[in-house]
Amino acid sequence: AAMVGHSAMDGVAIGAAFQVGGGMGTAVAMAVIAHDFADGFNTYTLTSLYGNARRRAIAMLVADAIAPVAGAASTLLFTIPEGALGAYLGLFGGVLLYLAAAEILPEAHHEHPARSTLLCTVAGAAFIWLVVGIAE
C-alpha cells in the first residue's frame, strides 16, 4: 500500500510539473515512468515475499500502475501556488537524487561490481542528460 501511495505522489509530481510547463512536465513524466518501472517490480516482489497469493500481488501491481495516473489527474482539480510548486518539485527531485546517489548507486557497486553495473550507471546518466535536453 505504501508503494501505491508513493506512486500516487509521483503522479502529483507529473501534474505539478505540467503546471510549470510542457517541457518540465515531459521531463518529470519520463523520469517518473522510468522510476515507476522499478517500483512495479518492487511492489510485486514485496507482496509475494510476504506470503500473499499471486492474485493479490497482481492486484497491487495494477493499483501501483494506476496510482500515478490518478495522482496526475488530481492536479487538474487545483492549481498549486507558484512558491509551493517550486518547493514541491525541488523536494521531489532532491529526494530522488538522494536515493540514487546515497542508497542505490553504492549498493549496486558494493558486492558485485561488474561491467554491466557500470554500463547501466552510464546509461542512466545518459538518460538523465537526454531528459534534461528535452526539458529545455
User: How many residues in total does the chain contain?
Assistant: 136
Q: What is the pLDDT of residue 15?
A: 92
CB distance 18 to 24 below 8 Å: yes
Lookup result for grid cell 482539480: 77
* Distance, CA of 87 to CA of 128 (rounded, Å): 21
pTM of the model: 0.66
Pick the closest to residue 40 from 80, 73, 77, 67 (CA basis): 67
Q: Which three cell numbers stand for residue 128?
A: 538523465
Answer yes or no: is pLDDT of 66 > 70.
yes
Answer yes or no: is pLDDT of 5 > 90.
no
Percent of the chain exceeding pLDDT 70 equals 90
- pLDDT tens, residue by residue, 32-61: 888 788 778 778 888 888 787 888 888 888
Q: What is the pLDDT of residue 72?
A: 92
* Distance, CA of 71 to CA of 82 (rounded, Å): 19
